Structure 1
Amino acid sequence: MNTDFSRRTLLKRFTGVAAGAALLASGEGLLNPFTAQAADALWNKPRSANGWDVLAGRSSGTATYDVPGTNLQVILREGDVGTVLAYVAQRFHYDVTQLEASRGRITGHSDDRQVKADFESNHLSGTALALYPDNYPLGVKGNLFPYQVTAIRDILAELQGVVKWGGDMESVKESTFFIDVSPGSTKLALVAETLRQWRLTPGKGAGTQSIGDPKRLTAAKKLASKQAA
């Protein structure tokens, strides 16, 4: 199990840990590893599982995004998708566990058509992000402490459900996040624009949230009941 966590998170979120434990009493974030094996399959469809066009290569429709607060970069679909998923990585770094190149890789767009679960095809369209996939592999559940799951739920709720967590998939993969709305989504565009405005506004965006706030916990629980169904 990964026991590393952000010192910044401890200083700013201690109260949120206790509150989050209540949110997750129903069973989320249980520390009971479960392993399932899946065979590789070749994804030959023109669209990834979430309905986005597969990108021909990294020079077509992708861009390199910095992960603020780190020295890391990730290649994602250019535009609103990249803005949102890069923000997921930033908040993961601040609130779940620190992202460091020495600890593993992060993956955005990929040309590898070999997938073990359909949602892994979302990397082909540049609409998925995997943070330490070797540490949190497909089929293994229980890698995260309850307070880390609470933080992830808060991230998803803050993004109004336009991103889904692989931890909620039938073939679980707790390292993965992917866009869960169709191309042209108005909600995605609005969320992305909000994130861009936060970059310009002191006191907004990643690192400013109070995860233990009752309203945030309620919103996170409500979304989890939908996405984990």
Structure 2
Amino acid sequence: MNTDFSRRALLRGFTCVAAGAAVLATGEGLLAPRAAQAADASWNESRSANGWDVLSSNSAGTATYDIPGTDLRVVLREGDVGTVLAYVAQRFHYDVTRLEARRGQIIGYSDNRQVKADFESNHLSGTALALYPDHYPLGVKGNFFPHQVTAIRDILAELQGVVRWGGDTESPKESAFFIDTPPGSAGLARVAETLRQWSITPGKGAGTQNIEDPQRIAAARRLAGRQAA
């Protein structure tokens, strides 16, 4: 189901106009988001917007994860978070559009405290993933074809809502995916363990899904109804 490169490639001539007109959830007991920040504000909280502790450096509490099916790697919070977000990247590569280093950045953990939307602070805790943020920037929607959105929503539903898509936030960023449950979440631990089992079980995991299955589509729509801003 890969599309090379996505709807944005066909609309590149309109990108500047769209970007210039940038458009000004549910989890398991997530902390309420703080008041909206000014553009390019510095995030000075000890926790990211989704309630996870900000990491002091990429050597403390992070690990480097391979993205299966590619030669790419990404630094994420070690443990269940990294397992889940690396799987998001893998399925994005298989079902949405190919991930290739030459096409742009793939960002996990970052120590850059300058954020334009609160959820971008989740990179500071290693609990967020951005896939080609230069192609799918903050405030611009409609970058993907409908079948690609269907695939993205299938990924979220398969992960039982522990990940939220930036395309569903008040200030949309369609390159962004972030953990939407607090530390200690039983749901996150359960999903991560399932993914570990799939990784060693033939016929399971990324690349085996029929995203056009009516039951999967219905589940994805129910979750979208809960997660959309």
TM-score by length of 2: 0.86
Name the SS of the counterpart of 1:76 in structure 2.
strand
CA distance in 1, matches of 2:128, 2:189: 17
Number of matched pairs: 203
CA distance in 2, matches of 1:57, 1:152: 30
The equivalences for 1:52-63 within 5 A come to 52-63=52-63
CA offsets 1:55-113 (integer angstroms, 9 cap, x no match): 00011000000000000000000000000000000000000000000111100000000
* Structure 1 partner of 2:125: 125
The one-letter amino acid of 1:109's match is: Y
In the alignment, which residue of structure 2 is the partner of 1:64? Answer: 64
Match of 1:35 in 2: 22
Contact 1:139 1:172 in 2 (8 A): yes
Shift of 1:167: 0.0
| Per-residue Cα deviation, 1:11-46 (whole angstroms, up to 9, x for no partner) | xxxxxxxxxxxxxxxxxxxxx956236720000000
CA root-mean-square deviation:
1.7
Equivalent residue runs for 1:35-184 within 5 Å: 35-36=22-23, 39-184=39-184
Query: Percent of counterpart pairs with the same letter?
Result: 77
The separation in 1 between residues aligned to 2:5 and 2:214, in whole angstroms, is: 23
How far apart in 2 are the matches of 1:39 and 1:53? 23
**1:209-220 map, 5 Å:** 209-220=209-220
Report the counterpart of residue 192 of structure 2 in structure 1: 192
Do 1:49 and 1:121's aligned partners in 2 also have CA atoms closer than 8 Å?
Answer: yes
Structure 1's consecutive aligned runs of 4 or more residues displaced over 6 angstroms after TM superposition are: none
Residue type of the partner of 2:177? F
Counterpart check, 1:206 vs 2:193: no
Which residues of 2 match residues 4-43 of structure 1 at below 5 A?
Answer: 4=4, 33=18, 35-36=22-23, 39-43=39-43
Counterpart for residue 23 of structure 1: none
Distance in 2 (CA, whole Å) between partners of 1:222 and 1:203 is 26
Q: Separation in 2 of the partners of 1:90 and 1:59?
A: 23
Q: Give, in whole Å, the separation in 2 of the partners of 1:151 and 1:197.
A: 22
